[in-house]
Amino acid sequence: MRTYIIAGNWKMNLGPTSAREFAASLLEQDAVRAALSTEHSVLVCPPFVSIQSAAEVCSGSGLHVGAQDCHAEPKGAYTGDVSATMLSELGCTWVIVGHSERRRDHHETNDVIGKKALAALKCGIRPIICVGESLEDRQRDATQQVVTEQLEQIARSIGADALQKCVIAYEPIWAIGTGLAASPEQAQEVHSWIRQTLSAHGGTSVPILYGGSVTDANAPDLFQQPDIDGALIGGASLNATSFAGIVQAALTLGAA
């Protein structure tokens, strides 16, 4: 059976009360419930303040709860930040690091992202490391160079053992929140480069997710690609039916 990872990134949406209600509505979806007793991984990443209420609802269900970022240090004078240690105390088992919105708004470098991934792993939290090119990079034909550079810097800084425990999300910046997903062929091309780069650094069994305007409509075609192991989903993860539709695509293709 081919296994997929379906991760919802709620971004700055759903406070504690709505997160509780929404997590409960996800658990009412047949496809979500069905996937939870399989080898597929399904997870949601609420904002920090909503992690606890989502985790309470999801506890024991098999629907995992992750965070959208963590600090590289376990504690200290870092106003406004949250450590992986704290996330683990809340029941988080996954964390997104290096999302392009954090690279852009918080000036995160590949070096910092690598440190965050290591901090997460130390706490038993699986990092989803995001990479991806801008529209300008793509237009000047620099996609492979940009994505490879991001990956190589991170892979070198964390080492092969840590890399093997991570997940990579390829998220072309031009596809995030635009409704313009990469075509399955465009995504597959980059995923195969990523696979080669990961292998060269000892990451031979690292799942690679695609992110950027994934919906229940385009998920089946994306998931058929040999190197697409799941999705990191923003907008469509905020609609229970759409999210369940994406989970259903994983169920169907996983069983095929």
Pick the binder of ligand PGA from 214, 222, 247, 251 (CB under 6 A).
214
Closer to ligand PGA by Cβ: residue 201 or 247: 247
Pick the binder of ligand PGA from 50, 213, 242, 248 (CB under 6 A).
213
Active site residues: 99, 171
Applying CB under 6 A, does 127 fall inside the site for ligand PGA?
A: no
Please name which of 45, 22, 34 lies closest in space to residue 239, comparing C-alpha atoms.
Answer: 22
Closer to ligand PGA by Cβ: residue 175 or 201: 175
* Contact (CB, 8 A) for 71 and 120: no
Among positions 66-95, residues that touch ligand PGA (CB under 6 A) are none
Pick the binder of ligand PGA from 95, 232, 244, 250 (CB under 6 A).
232
Applying CB under 6 A, does 194 fall inside the site for ligand PGA?
A: no
Strand positions, DSSP E, 132-205? 167-170
Q: DSSP alpha helices (H): ranges in 159-183? A: 160-164
Sign of the alpha-carbon dihedral angle for 176, 178, 182, 184: positive
Applying CB under 6 A, does 98 fall inside the site for ligand PGA?
A: no
Please name which of 211, 253, 219 lies closest in space to residue 8, comparing C-alpha atoms.
Answer: 211
Applying CB under 6 A, does 9 fall inside the site for ligand PGA?
A: yes
* DSSP-derived secondary structure letter, 182: P
Closer to ligand PGA by Cβ: residue 176 or 222: 176
Helix (H) or strand (E) holding 65: strand 64-67
Interaction site with ligand PGA (CB under 6 A): 9, 171, 176-177, 211-214, 232-236
